[in-house]
Amino acid sequence: MTYFDAVVIGGGVNGTAVAYYLSKKGIKVALVEKNDIASGTSGRCDGNVLIADKQRGFDTKMTYTSQLLLKELTEKIDYDFEYYQKGSIFVIESEEELTVAQELVQDQIEDGYPMRMMDKKEIHDEIPLLADDIIGGIEIACDSSLNPMKLSFGFALEAQKNGCMVFPYTEVKNIKCNNLGKIEALITDQQTLFTNIVVNCAGVWAPQIGKMLGVDIPIKPRQGQLLVAEKTFSPYWRKIQEFGYVTAKSQNGNYKRNIRPELEKLGIAFVFEPTLSNNFLIGSSRAFVGFDTDVSIEVIQGLAERATRFFPVMKDIHVIRAYAGLRPYVEDHIPIISKVDEVPGFYIAAGHEGDGIGLSPLTGKLISQMITGEETILPIDTLSINRFKELNKKR
């Protein structure tokens, strides 16, 4: 009979992070993954760790804390996950965006984050290949990038060094509880793993695991598509995003970007990410299409169109691949990092939407602290699954 102190479900970046932080505390942990490590969302995303697009307050603090943890991890994980902290840039298209940007930057500076405005001359001096009509920018000095697949492999390999057992190509079939409702065992298509603690890190598939225990987890898959450019000179060396998309979101529909309605409908927002392999990635899109990970011609055309609007020079650079992944979407855009009161021993760490890569160290750390009963590095009330009960009551 194999007994584990805890079993983690899901070999994405968050599951492997949880396994890593738990195993570091000397906890006997197993990681169960239905395919390979980083074969789901963590293998079909980009690698940004950004405070740039976060809400003021707790949202920003979460990512900032995670950035600090990541820096620590480069020393602790003996696997190069291509981490670099070069900062990121927002580009600004209109006067309305500029006003919103100035407010945001002022607020974030007040809270102690390294952000600053760039005027028209400065942004064009900094990014000579940028479209001429861009009127300004924001520099966010602490933002960073990494290779999400490699971070997942790194977490998993380090966890294994600490005694974690990894079970890839193993699908969870059921979770057994005793007559007091306490978790007893995890039944997979390969074996039964005895444990009293299960951490559900199954991302977009987390609701299916929740269902095995009668727990409703309000996560939906939200598809995003990306383009990969050939290895070539890089139009710029840091990550760039368009600020218009953030403005439109923050103004609750009162601001409209100067963009074709078709692209707006596809949720297209320009994101540029140079990689250490000298390719660059172009995003982004968002759509609710169930579990479909096929790319669509409308979206990839839209991504290319939006990219050349900001960087006309890209017209002659080749796209070598397009891919799609599924973000685990939660209505209030805050991940669920929580114990489940109704099922003692059941924890959830999922629903990070587009922030899973960046928040993975924080997620691993928080869950490990919750399980050992230590004080958590950040307050966890806002992350609790109980918030949805209150939401449902109000409805």
The two tokens of residue 93 are: 């298209």
Q: For residues 145 and 338, which CB has a smaller minimum distance to another protein in the complex?
A: 145
CB of 83 to another protein, least distance (A): 17
The two tokens of residue 186 are: 């995890």
Query: What is the C-alpha separation between 38 and 16, in angstroms, rounded?
Result: 9
| φ/ψ (deg, to 5) at 210 | -55, -40
Q: For residues 52 and 317, which CB has a smaller minimum distance to another protein in the complex?
A: 317
Residues that bind another protein (CB under 8 A): 36-39, 43, 149, 153, 157, 166, 168-169, 227-231, 277, 279, 282, 295, 297, 300-308, 314-323
Q: For residues 234 and 301, which CB has a smaller minimum distance to another protein in the complex?
A: 301
For residue 369, give the 3-state DSSP assignment. Answer: helix
Burial class (CB in 10 A: 0-12, 13-18, 19+), 288: exposed
CB of 204 to another protein, least distance (A): 17
Q: Which residues, 6 or more positions from 249, have their beta carbon under 8 angstroms from its beta carbon?
A: none
Parallel, antiparallel, or unpaired for β 115-118 and 136-140?
Answer: antiparallel
Q: For residues 325 and 354, which CB has a smaller minimum distance to another protein in the complex?
A: 325
CB of 152 to another protein, least distance (A): 9
Q: For residues 156 and 350, which CB has a smaller minimum distance to another protein in the complex?
A: 156
Q: For residues 69 and 314, which CB has a smaller minimum distance to another protein in the complex?
A: 314
CB of 391 to another protein, least distance (A): 37
**Cα dist. 172→4, 71, 85, 190 in Å?**
15, 33, 37, 9
Q: For residues 227 and 343, which CB has a smaller minimum distance to another protein in the complex?
A: 227
Contact 29, 9 (CB under 8 A): no
CB of 61 to another protein, least distance (A): 31
Q: Which residues, 6 or more positions from 180, have their beta carbon under 8 angstroms from its beta carbon?
A: none
Query: What is the C-alpha separation between 190 and 63, in angstroms, rounded?
Result: 37
Closest by CA position to 191, among listed 210, 160, 169, 213:
169
Neighbours of 365 (CB within 10 A): 23
Strand order in the sheet with 220-229: 115-118, 136-140, 88-92, 239-242, 271-274, 280-283, 220-229
CB of 194 to another protein, least distance (A): 24
CB of 301 to another protein, least distance (A): 6
Q: For residues 55 and 278, which CB has a smaller minimum distance to another protein in the complex?
A: 278
Query: What is the C-alpha separation between 157 and 244, in angstroms, rounded?
Result: 40
CB of 52 to another protein, least distance (A): 23
**Cα dist. 359→49, 94, 150, 352 in Å?**
8, 31, 15, 8
Q: For residues 73 and 282, which CB has a smaller minimum distance to another protein in the complex?
A: 282
CB of 120 to another protein, least distance (A): 25
